Structure 1
Amino acid sequence: MIIESTISLLLLLIQVPATALLLSRLLKGPRRYPPLQPQQPTPDMLGRVSVIVPTLNEALRISPLLKGLSRQSYEVREVIVVDSRSQDGTPDLVQAAQQQDPRFRVITDDPLPSGWVGRPWALHNGFLFSSERSEWFLGMDADIQPNSGLVASLVKTAQTEGYDLVSLSPQFILKYPGECWLQPSLLMTLLYRFDPPGIYTEEAERVMANGQCFLCRRSVLASINGYMSAKSSFCDDVTLARNIAAAGFKVGFLDGAKLLKVRMYEGAMETWKEWGRSLDLKDASNRAQIWGDLWLLSAVQGLPLIILLAYLPMSSSPYLPISLVLGLNIFLLFIRFALLLVIAPSYDRKNAKGGWLFWLSPLADPLAVLRIFLSAFHTPREWRGRKY
């Protein structure tokens, strides 16, 4: 048992500090800003917001977004869809929406310049074409399904809390068994690495953001030359938010599960390939941050299940280090299952096949952490059909 005790001591050295760091973040949860609720605009908000939507072959997903944006009130001045030469009729759907709501218009961005990723390039073009009379720039993805009162709630919250930039975490729509099992584990890697949504983070390098619903003061975006500072980033939302926070502006990341839903990817394979591609956030982080996050995720999310399976045959061992490792990892697995109750409102599983697999998603944690490792050491060469 000498070898087992030595290994146990090494595991304790790795896991105990990581557990303390995790608890320091999770214990902030009760102080977080409550989930945003739909609100009605006030007259002073008239025409304050320009909405920008980047698209590339989104015909199968964009209709709920167009309908949801048409239900937003007079706070929305314009909705600019920046299309990157879709071949599936996406611009036709926007033009049809324009017949019912003149606030919609579609533009085609210029050919992608060298050094740019498609999404920040489209958003940058949308910013340049948006009205200077708008106070707020709101970037939204084509797969978002917004509720009425979303934009008014965002603007009111930003004004009340003094945010220059605020983005929202959505409610994710699940449909198939594989994604019900895998996707919550991938999302949990973010919850472990960062403060919960609704906790204000002063350290720019630890700021979190979600470009699916991303509200920023137009003057702030103009002061940093639009999306230029995030032009080559595959996680442009986090990169831009951290650059804005580093410039001295107030950035918030809040719970928007009651304001918007999103259906991101179809099935486990697409979830693994696409959702995990930018979760490492390496384009927004330095090397030390990346390695620190990988250590944390390995210690408190990836290893506990594996360690428990390996240590259960030694559960009767009299050696203290072995008992401590076993107890620590039981504790970590208990935390992980308890967090399912916390994130459950972030998922719409009403029409999901195998929705019960959500409650077994901790069993996918080793795979989720492996996905972060693979992404952290691989530069994407393709995104949304574009090669880089």
Structure 2
Amino acid sequence: MMLGLAILALACAALPGLIAWVNLSILRTPEPDLDVRSRISVLIPARNEAPVIATTVRAALASAGVALEVLVGDDHSTDDTAAIVAGIAATDHRLRLIPIPPLPEGWTGKNHACARLAEAAQGTHLLFVDADVTLAPAAAAALVAHARRTDSALVSGVPRQIMGTLGERLTVPMINFLLVGYLPMAMMRASPRPSLGAACGQLVLVARAAYEATGGHGAVRTSLHDGVVLPRRFRRAGYRTDLVAAHALATCRMYRGFGQSWAGFSKNAREGMATPRALPVWTLLLAGGHVLPWLLLLAALLGFGSGAAVFLAAAAALVSLATRAAITLVTREPAGTILLHPFTVLVALAIQWRALLRRRGAGTPAWKGRSYPVGDS
């Protein structure tokens, strides 16, 4: 039995290792194009973001190589968010503060704010940026250049993730690990299948014409996971979507502490892997490839298992850590998170299983002062 489990562990560890090896060889940071033909609207939905909004807005205004406007949607903030943005807008005509109307029934907050910002925007391309994302000067120009070169209606990437606490380091690295280790990007680029569509909601560039033709955020108004549903809707409408390496284009500290990380990942779990069909498969792949090898090695220390089983378990553990190390170093995440990898996987699975087993109608954890009902997947 130990030998069989060791073979399973090695197979489950090798799969993301192979996918990541291919993905890291083709995933590149795009370069800006000197031929500036696009007007970019940087759209920032903001709700109680006073500690970070000035940095986000000033970085967006520093974008180079594009015709630019920056719109910040104040979504009923109760702190100084609106006042901070208004103060900056008084010194730079490219910045506008857009008050977001009350949230209608059937909408999630971010989608509603993004839809209203898109209506007010004038750009040929819309760059949706979370309020905790700091753009590099070349980011907007690089994303729109990649969109033109690849004929992509939607381009996204994962900003370099800033993690200040152990709780963040046990949760946030799964974003890049899942995208790079389990999404075959060569297939994504070759096939129009909606199931292969993916994005990071922190940083999404869309062509305005395609956005309007697909219904934009209004078409996914009930979703809490625009990084999944928006690119898939684009693909269903016949548009191409793509991912790029964005660690040099932007930075983001999305959560602060374990509690906020747990709540943040929980709110969109049901639109990710936490479905009755998908989660058992994900549990086998993730636990099998990244937790089971260490359990088998622990059993070997206690005197269980043959030499062959121990060898295969050690190989699986090495492949698992090597894959995580390659992704971590390329995406410039903290190197200290690599050895936390088995625990990161366990925490991710705990979040997903809790989301799946949560009683229908109990609602997601409150987020930004709002709570949304949880329906069946």
TM normalised by structure 2 equals 0.86
Q: Name the counterpart of 1:69.
A: 60
The Cα of 1:248 is off from its aligned counterpart by 1.5
The Cα of 1:126 is off from its aligned counterpart by 1.1
The Cα of 1:331 is off from its aligned counterpart by 2.3
- C-alpha separation in 1, matches of 2:245 and 2:169: 20
Q: Name the counterpart of 1:317.
A: 306
Equivalent residue for 1:250, pick from 240, 247, 251:
240
* Contact 2:293/2:313 (<8 A) preserved: yes
Give the AA of the match of 1:263: R
The Cα of 1:118 is off from its aligned counterpart by 0.6
2:17 is the counterpart of 1:26: no
2:325 is the counterpart of 1:340: yes
* Contact 1:173/1:261 (<8 A) preserved: yes
Give the AA of the match of 1:22: P
Does 50-59 or 65-74 show the bigger shift?
65-74
Local SS of the residue matching 1:269: helix
Local SS of the residue matching 1:200: helix
Change in CA separation of 1:8 and 1:233 when aligned onto 2, cut-off 3 Å: farther
Deviation string for 1:175-199 (max 9, x for gaps)?
2344335533564344433236996
The Cα of 1:16 is off from its aligned counterpart by 6.1
Give the AA of the match of 1:211: G
Q: Name the counterpart of 2:143.
A: 154
Deviation string for 1:74-126 (max 9, x for gaps)?
62442111111101011111111112211111112222122211111111111
Equivalent residue for 1:128, pick from 116, 119, 127:
119
2:100 is the counterpart of 1:140: no
- Equivalent residues in 2 for 1:156-235 (5 A)? 156-185=145-174, 187-195=176-184, 200=189, 202=191, 203-235=193-225
Q: Name the counterpart of 1:352.
A: none
Q: Name the counterpart of 2:100.
A: 109
- C-alpha separation in 2, matches of 1:237 and 1:115: 19
Equivalent residue for 1:79, pick from 47, 64, 70:
70
Q: Name the counterpart of 1:94.
A: 85
- C-alpha separation in 1, matches of 2:24 and 2:321: 18
Equivalent residue for 1:360, pick from 339, 349, 353:
339
Does 295-304 or 181-190 show the bigger shift?
181-190
The Cα of 1:49 is off from its aligned counterpart by 1.4
Q: Which runs of 5+ in 1 are unaligned?
A: 350-355
Aligned length: 365
Q: Which runs of 5+ in 2 are unaligned?
A: 373-377
Give the AA of the match of 2:235: A
Local SS of the residue matching 1:227: helix
Q: Name the counterpart of 2:369.
A: 385
The Cα of 1:33 is off from its aligned counterpart by 3.1
TM normalised by structure 1 equals 0.84
2:314 is the counterpart of 1:330: yes
Local SS of the residue matching 2:173: helix
Does 231-240 or 284-293 show the bigger shift?
284-293
* Contact 1:185/1:361 (<8 A) preserved: no
The Cα of 1:357 is off from its aligned counterpart by 3.5
* Contact 1:164/1:250 (<8 A) preserved: yes
The Cα of 1:154 is off from its aligned counterpart by 0.7
Deviation string for 1:224-273 (max 9, x for gaps)?
11212311111122101111112211101111111111111112332233
Q: Name the counterpart of 1:372.
A: 352
- C-alpha separation in 2, matches of 1:348 and 1:21: 22
* Contact 1:117/1:231 (<8 A) preserved: yes
Give the AA of the match of 2:49: E
- C-alpha separation in 2, matches of 1:33 and 1:370: 30
Q: Name the counterpart of 2:250.
A: 260
- C-alpha separation in 2, matches of 1:127 and 1:90: 20
- C-alpha separation in 1, matches of 2:29 and 2:266: 25
The Cα of 1:335 is off from its aligned counterpart by 2.0
- C-alpha separation in 1, matches of 2:267 and 2:121: 30
- C-alpha separation in 1, matches of 2:186 and 2:369: 31
Change in CA separation of 1:139 and 1:182 when aligned onto 2, cut-off 3 Å: closer
Deviation string for 1:325-357 (max 9, x for gaps)?
x334322321222131332243465xxxxxx64
- C-alpha separation in 2, matches of 1:334 and 1:158: 37
* Contact 2:154/2:240 (<8 A) preserved: yes
Local SS of the residue matching 1:183: coil
- C-alpha separation in 2, matches of 1:141 and 1:183: 16
Local SS of the residue matching 2:115: helix
The Cα of 1:372 is off from its aligned counterpart by 2.8
The Cα of 1:130 is off from its aligned counterpart by 1.7
2:292 is the counterpart of 1:303: yes
Give the AA of the match of 1:358: T
- C-alpha separation in 2, matches of 1:58 and 1:221: 26
